[in-house]
Structure 1
Amino acid sequence: MAVRSTTTAETGTRTRDHDTPAPRRPRNTRAGAWFAAFLLLTVSVVLGCRTADTDAITPVPQLLAFLPWLLAPTAVALLFAALSHWRIGLVWGVAALAVTAWYIEPYGKTMEPGGVPVAEIRVLTANVEFGKATDGLIEAVSEQRPDLVFVQECEDTCEKKLDQAFGKASKADKADKLKEKSREKGKEKGKAKTGVYPYRQVVASATSEGSDGSVILSRHPLTPAKGIPATMGMPGATADVDGQEIHLQLAHPMPPLPSTLGTWREELAALRDYAAANIGRPTVVAGDFNATQDHAAFRRILDTGFMDGARLTGDTRTPSWPALTAPAFGAQIDHVLVSRGFTATRTRFLELGNTDHRALVVDLVLRKST
């Protein structure tokens, strides 16, 4: 019986599997995967700091201000990972989306209304950017008629315009008479119908075009308080609102620029200490905090028990800065914080013009247990 031998000719051109080179990924596909990895790594570093409850170093604090918008680069990374057939990237991207969505939820305590209403207060806070938006502020105050006005970056010209528009502190007696007369004619939710703000607490600007000037205007009598020492003016006062003593503190810490991160942390920490010391009595802290709920330094203020007025009315993520792109894009860095006993009924964000901030108006109710 003849044994048939297999020749190369009979096997044709078939080659062994182990001799077949692995297919190489196209260069454009590899570039897409690397780009997706870069985006996801950046997002993950920011989310990692948020999870670790730290503001870390530049550029993390700056990126944390826009944490909800991290959804955009994450979505782009997912697209490139899909086009590159990068499975690890797809899983990574989905996880980053989930973590970002988790932290978009509002932070801070809320309190169910309870007790008897003893005072109703409308608070307006505005950063007028070196006084440039003073005219817009005067118009907004005239329309909104707040009880308390917190003004940041109010230099000398700004102060003079406010004096001309709303009366000087030296006219307090005359303002009291107008106030009593308006009360006799009637009130609108407890607010006197006079355009005069005779009471004020001021930290004057050191320069004619500085950002360190701040003013608290009030319809109600004010007693000066120490305030918080800071690079920019943060005056304090105590207001007598319908017989209720309410402590006031203007907030305007340094912004978290690379060169001022240490000062930013220190001044937010000072605000946190003030909040901790005043949580047990009626207190309002309002202004440009240069921080959002995604900054650990700001959350520590909320952890004292103070509540964000915008959080109480469901407007936590409404941007207040930069005004040029708000409300479509931005961050909420302007806040009205209140101690226990307060509830908020309404929040509005106003366009003043000539400033990079939107003004914030919050209607508050102070309640006390019977």
Structure 2
Amino acid sequence: MSAPPHSDPATEPIPRRPRRRGRPRWFWALVLGLAAAGAVLPDLLGADRYFPFAQLIAFRPLSVGAVAVVAVLAALVTALHRRFWPVPVLLALIALIGAALVLPRTMADPAPAGSRTLKVLALNVYEGEADVDSLAALIRAEDPDIVSVPEAGGRYAGELEELISPLGYSVESSVSHRTADVRGNTVAWSDRLGEVRTRVDENTRFHAIEATGGGLGDLRFVAFHSVAPVPSSVGQWREDLGQVQQWCSAGGPAVVAGDFNATLDHSVFRNAMAGCSDAGETTGNGLAGTWPTFAPEWMGPQIDHVLSNQGIAAESFDVHLVPGTDHRAIVTTLRLP
């Protein structure tokens, strides 16, 4: 019996290394998942307090739609390459979480009770460039009880007063006519409210103005404007929004109306308005964009708000275009308990 022949090492096959096919799919799942989460969910970890997430989160409704579309495309790829499945699964999960945070704003709360109403109009007039005749016409048509006009100083307030004083309105600005309109907030109120008093609040960069007394009773109405969260002003933006707490969590009833440069997707804004409800959200109009006017209403973020506390709730919410400004005017009727 002969011994088995010795194998020649030179002719032995080189063993193959097993293919690591899982790496690419998990790599893309991680990359796309992080990008989607950064656009849709940065507020869950407080990242929206900083640049660039403070800007990205304002467009969460659009981001949710975009991530959902990418998830569908990834699912189609998975039909051909099944190992790609982690990508559509992760993207779909992020889109579902984002949708759960956004869609409730399209559902109205039950109609508020209360026998008295307060009709509020708010419009950022873009550095005093909004057509003052058109704003006066809107006031004439809507007949609000009180009006908040951010970026309107003494100059613009004077022009507006000439037009609406015959309609029975008084007007007051937080800054004089010698100060640029962009620095001011203006409040106008109907004579129906009687002897209203005003006070300038200098705790924000754009001085807010408060109206109290008369037909407002113990209610404090605030015309408010925050700086925009551009990279150089994100810190000031957080400080401005923080001042909203003094009204929403105050002992007495309050309504704060104007341009907050923040949406309900910003954790900074949600924390500041604790104790208040938002007129757009409670009426099911929380996704009606108020800026910029060149974009369709469904596309832009809602950064203009009417907030109220202590059982004061909105029963209506509408937006209107006024020439000369990049913001839409909002008109809401509040029910007072």
Could you tell me which residue of structure 2 aligns to residue 64 of structure 1?
Answer: 57
Q: Which residue matches 2:334? A: 364
- The equivalent residue for 2:279 is 309
| Stretch moving more, 76-85 or 147-156 | 76-85
Look up the equivalent residue of 2:168 and give its one-letter code.
Answer: V
Q: 291, 296, 311: which is aligned to 2:267?
A: 296
Is 1:244 matched with 2:217? yes
SS of 1:338's equivalent in the other structure is strand
Deviation at 1:326, TM superposition (A): 3.0
Give the deviation of 1:52 after TM superposition.
2.5
Is it true that 1:257 corresponds to 2:234 in the alignment? no
Is the partner of 1:65 in helix, strand or coil? helix
Please point out which of 334, 351, 357 is paired with 2:304.
334
Between the aligned partners of 1:111 and 1:233, the Cα distance in structure 2 is 35
1:316-352 deviations in whole A, cap 9, x for unaligned? 1111111111313111111111111323221110011
Q: Does the Cα contact within 8 Å between 1:230 and 1:267 map onto a contact in 2? A: yes
Distance 2:289 2:76 in 1: 32
What is aligned with 1:141? Answer: 139
- Where does 1:1-370 land on structure 2 (aligned, <5 Å)? 38-78=31-71, 79-80=73-74, 82-83=76-77, 85=81, 86-106=84-104, 113-114=112-113, 117=115, 119-133=116-130, 134-167=132-165, 195-198=167-170, 200-204=171-175, 209-219=180-190, 220=193, 221-241=195-215, 244-278=217-251, 281-303=252-274, 305-367=275-337
Q: Aligned in 2, Cα 1:268/1:71: closer, same or farther, shift over 3 Å?
A: same
- Inter-CA distance 23–50: structure 2 relative to 1 (3 Å threshold): closer
1:145-203 Cα deviation digits (max 9, x unpaired): 10101001114442221121022xxxxxxxxxxxxxxxxxxxxxxxxxx71212x3311
> As a proportion of its length, which structure holds more helix?
2
Could you say if the C-alpha distance between residues 130 and 87 of structure 1 is closer, same or farther in structure 2, counting changes exceeding 3 Å? Answer: same
- Contact 1:323 1:351 (C-alpha < 8 Å) held by counterparts: yes
SS in 2 for 1:249: strand
Q: CA RMSD in A?
A: 3.1
Distance of aligned partners of 1:267 and 1:20 in 2 relative to their CA distance in 1, 3 Å threshold: closer
Alpha-carbon separation, structure 2, partners of 1:207 and 1:65: 34
Q: Which has the larger radius of gyration?
A: 1
- Equivalence for 1:8: none
Q: How many equivalent residue pairs?
A: 314
2:7 alignment partner in structure 1: none
Q: Quick one: structure 1 residues 97 and 67, their matched pair in 2 at CA, closer, same or farther if it must change by over 3 Å?
A: same
Distance 1:268 1:237, change over 3 A: same
SS in structure 2 of the partner of residue 245 of structure 1: coil
- Give the drift of 1:239: 3.9
Whole-angstrom CA distance in 2 between matches of 1:226 and 1:111? 35
Amino acid at match of 2:205: T
Distance 2:286 2:109 in 1: 12
Q: Distance in 1 between matches of 2:102 and 2:149?
A: 29
Instruction: Give the Å deviation of 1:82.
Output: 4.0
Deviation per residue, 1:104-163 (Å, 9 max, x gap): 1447x968744x52x321100000101111232112111111010100111444222112
> Percent same amino acid at aligned positions?
28
Please report the TM-score for the alignment, with normalisation by the length of structure 1: 0.75
Alpha carbons of structure 1 residues 20 and 271: separation in structure 2 relative to 1, 3 Å: closer
More divergent stretch after superposition (205-214 vs 145-154): 205-214
Deviation of 1:44 after TM superposition, in Å, equals 1.0
What is the DSSP-based 3-state SS (H/G/I as helix, E as strand, rest coil) of the residue aligned with 2:330? strand
Q: Unaligned stretches of 5+ in structure 2? A: 1-12
CA displacement, residues 214-263 of structure 1 (integer Å, 9 cap, x when unaligned): 1100012311234242211311120422x733211112011111110110
Q: Which moved more, 1:40-49 or 1:259-268?
A: 40-49
> 1:206·1:213 contact (CA, 8 Å) conserved in 2?
no
| 1:98 to partner: Cα distance | 1.1
**Paired residues of 1:226 and 1:237 also in contact (CA < 8 A):** no
Contact kept, 8 Å, 2:200 with 2:208, in 1: the verdict is no
- Residue 63 of structure 1 and its aligned partner are, at CA, apart by 0.7
Q: Provide Cα deviations, 1:275-305, integer angstroms capped at 9, x if missing partner.
A: 2124xx23111000111111111111332x2
3-state DSSP of counterpart to 2:318: strand
Structure 1 runs not aligned, ≥5 long: 1-15, 25-29, 168-193
Distance 1:151 1:23, change over 3 A: closer
CA distance in 2, matches of 1:22, 1:42: 28
Q: Alpha carbons of 1:36 and 1:342: their partners in 2 closer, same or farther (altered >3 Å)?
A: same
2:319 partner SS: strand
